[in-house]
Structure 1
Amino acid sequence: MPASSRTFPLIDVWGKPEERGRQIGSALNERIARTLSIYKTYFDRPEGEILAAAAQFRDVIAAFDPRACAEMDGIADGADVDPLWIVALNARSELLSALSASECTVVQYTGTPFVGQNWDWSEKLEELVVLIRSEDERGKRFLTMTEPGMLAKVGLNDAGFGVCLNFLPTPKPTRGVPSHILLRSLLDAGSWADVEETLERAGVGRSLNLLVAGRDGRAINIEYEGDAARRMEPGGTATTHTNHYVTCKAPVDAELLENSTARLERIRALTTPGTPADLARLKTVLSDNTHPEHAILAPYRDSDGFLGRKGTICTIAMDLAERRMHIRRGNDPAVPFVEIAVTQKETAFSM
């Protein structure tokens, strides 16, 4: 991989929600258009049906967090896109919730500020992924790795909170606050009380494993299954998760279950009591490719699902105490991590 392709583009934005959104949309307009084209194919439904669902999600989001709606409107304006398509992108997990797809391996070392994950998804998205570092008009800052047009995905903020996720399939209705909107809102948290209040307001209605971690070493891990939300106790050395339900026996496609179970067993073996629990070890376990078929750091391979060729798009290890993200693009363990501080600020787009 050429040196210029080993990192994702980083943009710095600031101001009120709509202003930040407009900056994002203007800077990423071409990438947003390409991302939309991909997801329109994945949704595999008439545009009118998707936009009608997006309109319903917009009402849900507006009641939950009006600032998120303002930011999405700004993105749509900057990218010259129908705002409902930006809503659809941010609700893509809910619109695809009935489909099986391996997406992530998550690790949080109990009692430490170290948390991270691999994001496994369609190979097509790797060249589109971006990093957004944002400061709002109140001075709150966060950094996220995300798909163009989405408000947030994996990330951390200047208060020392980080968010990670695993996609979980369900046939149950998922009409609540979309997963990526919840992730974005949690990146505004300044305390555990803020986190709990946001989770309470968000309620259920999504299919997701959500992990929220703090610089104090605490974490909340919740499996959402449509109308249910189940919290998990932290692990002895580490809290780990992949792409099947651990708190219940909800049905999961056989191919996904085999892959997800193998990854979970391996990540648990790598984080047993007595093993190191630091940032270097986190990077090592997320780089494991021992299993020939179900590696944690997964090469791109053809799949039977809707994603086509899928594998690890990136690996993220976060030090919440230092407010730093360490990120590696792609699935080559020899490629070095790039370190990015939440608190740094550029004076112009870093594209």
Structure 2
Amino acid sequence: MTTVFRSTELNSRARGKEFGHRFAAKVKANVDTYGAMFDRLSDGCLDIASAGRDALAAVSIFAPALHEEMLGIAEGAGIDPALIGALNARTEILAAAKAKLRGECSAVIHLPSDLSAPVAVQTWDWYQIFHDSWLVWEIPLADGSVTKTMTEYGIVGKSGLNTRGLGLLFTILHHTADGGKIGVPVHVAARAALDGASNIYRAAQLLATAEVSASSSINLVGFEKGIGKAMSVELHPGGPSFVLPDSEGFIVHTNHFLAPGPAACDTEPRAFPDTLLRHDLLRRGLGAIGQPTAGDVLSEMKRHEGGEGAVCCHPEPGADPANAYETLSTVILDVAAGNLEVLKGEVRTA
């Protein structure tokens, strides 16, 4: 069963402290597991605490409230704040380590031709060792709205939505410029958009100000005054780039850049061409349906062709447990109703 936690504190520092205290063991486990991964993939050559302090400094400028929340998590869990900074910057640190990591996640947004509520679904694919590392966090805000995010313990956000009609899906990207001094963590940027933006325009505008050192697609979806909207913001150093739905109302994002500019500097397709195959399978399958429901998208995501590179992926037989990779959860956004559903484990149909 998916763990759901609803904060009771409106103050950022207090909310973080409440979360850190409640989930101290889980947060510490993620800090330790990622710390070991950072050391292994960098051959122990990275100063993780220093990287974490750089992340905290970047967040303090970009999203001061989330900086306070991160400090609160550290206080509540009894952990060095620098390590919470490093945990939130896990994508950036892995980029700095020049780790040859495959992409994660397949995301689909569809805007129906009748202008009804959008469909938005994604898989979250990551290392099997993190199968119990995440939860759904519901975060009441001072304006009466609620941010709901599927995230890892100790990381402030990932995919999710707010009750103002805005949602986002998240996939990792890889660019030749990734890996510089730690910038705004992409996970923090996603959460900041959910907390601070009332619509897609404001979310994209906010994300465009994030000076990042690693790449990801933040796939925005909204339902405002009865009209669905969508846009992919491809964050990358020197970016971002923006992608709109195609002529049939689809944004399908796996782990390669869709905008032509950064695509020229994309390292993913050569290393892990499954991203191209997943994108093609999903787009053709859903295009044949025409006006897919969330259930239709879930059915298309239950594809195992390609083994570890499949849309719904599982470790190859005999895989090293430290590198075993699988679909850990599936996220379904109902931005019209403000509902976030997260299915644990393998994709199943609704």
Q: 1:275 and 1:120, CA in 2 relative to 1: closer, same or farther beyond 3 A?
A: same
Which residue does the alignment assign to 1:244?
A: 256
1:56 counterpart = 2:49: no
Q: Displacement of 1:250 after TM fit? A: 2.4
Which residue does the alignment assign to 1:27?
A: 22
- 2:311 is paired with a residue whose SS is coil
Deviation string, structure 1 residues 210-257 (Cα, Å, up to 9, x no partner): 111112321121223322322113122311011122331324256743
- 2:281 is paired with a residue whose SS is helix
Amino acid at match of 2:244: E
Deviation string, structure 1 residues 168-225 (Cα, Å, up to 9, x no partner): 1234245331101101101112233431331233245431111111123211212233
Which residue does the alignment assign to 2:71?
A: 73
Q: Could you tell me the percent identity over the aligned residues? A: 24
Which residue does the alignment assign to 1:18?
A: 13
Q: 1:237 and 1:307, CA in 2 relative to 1: closer, same or farther beyond 3 A?
A: farther
Select 2:208's aligned residue among 200, 211, 235.
Answer: 200
Which residue does the alignment assign to 2:133?
A: 128
- 1:272 is paired with a residue whose SS is helix
- 1:245 is paired with a residue whose SS is coil
Deviation string, structure 1 residues 28-63 (Cα, Å, up to 9, x no partner): 111111111111122125597111122122111111
Which residue does the alignment assign to 1:217?
A: 228
TM-score, scaled to structure 2: 0.86
Determine the C-alpha separation between the residues in 1 that align with 2:320 and 2:120. Answer: 29
CA RMSD of aligned residues (A): 2.4
Which residue does the alignment assign to 2:110?
A: 109
CA contact (8 A) 2:167 2:194 kept: yes
**Gaps in structure 2 of 5+ consecutive residues:** none
Q: 1:38 and 1:63, CA in 2 relative to 1: closer, same or farther beyond 3 A?
A: same
Determine the C-alpha separation between the residues in 1 that align with 2:308 and 2:61. Answer: 44
Determine the C-alpha separation between the residues in 1 that align with 2:205 and 2:318. Answer: 39
Q: 1:227 and 1:305, CA in 2 relative to 1: closer, same or farther beyond 3 A?
A: farther
Select 1:187's aligned residue among 189, 194, 210.
Answer: 194
1:165 counterpart = 2:170: yes
Which residue does the alignment assign to 2:158?
A: 153
CA contact (8 A) 1:17 1:136 kept: no
Determine the C-alpha separation between the residues in 2 that align with 1:168 and 1:212. Answer: 16
TM-score, scaled to structure 1: 0.86
Aligned residues: 329
Determine the C-alpha separation between the residues in 2 that align with 1:311 and 1:258. Answer: 17
- 1:77 is paired with a residue whose SS is helix
Amino acid at match of 2:250: A
Farther off after superposition, 145-154 or 125-134:
125-134
- 1:37 is paired with a residue whose SS is helix
CA contact (8 A) 1:18 1:70 kept: yes
CA contact (8 A) 2:307 2:316 kept: no
Q: How does 1:168-317 map to 2 (within 5 A)?
A: 168-172=173-177, 173-174=179-180, 175-188=182-195, 189-215=197-223, 216-235=227-246, 236-247=248-259, 248-252=263-267, 256-272=271-287, 274-292=289-307, 294-301=309-316, 308-317=323-332
Amino acid at match of 2:26: R
Determine the C-alpha separation between the residues in 1 that align with 2:228 and 2:282. Answer: 19
Amino acid at match of 2:60: A
Determine the C-alpha separation between the residues in 2 that align with 1:237 and 1:193. Answer: 18
Q: Displacement of 1:272 after TM fit? A: 1.1
CA contact (8 A) 1:286 1:315 kept: no
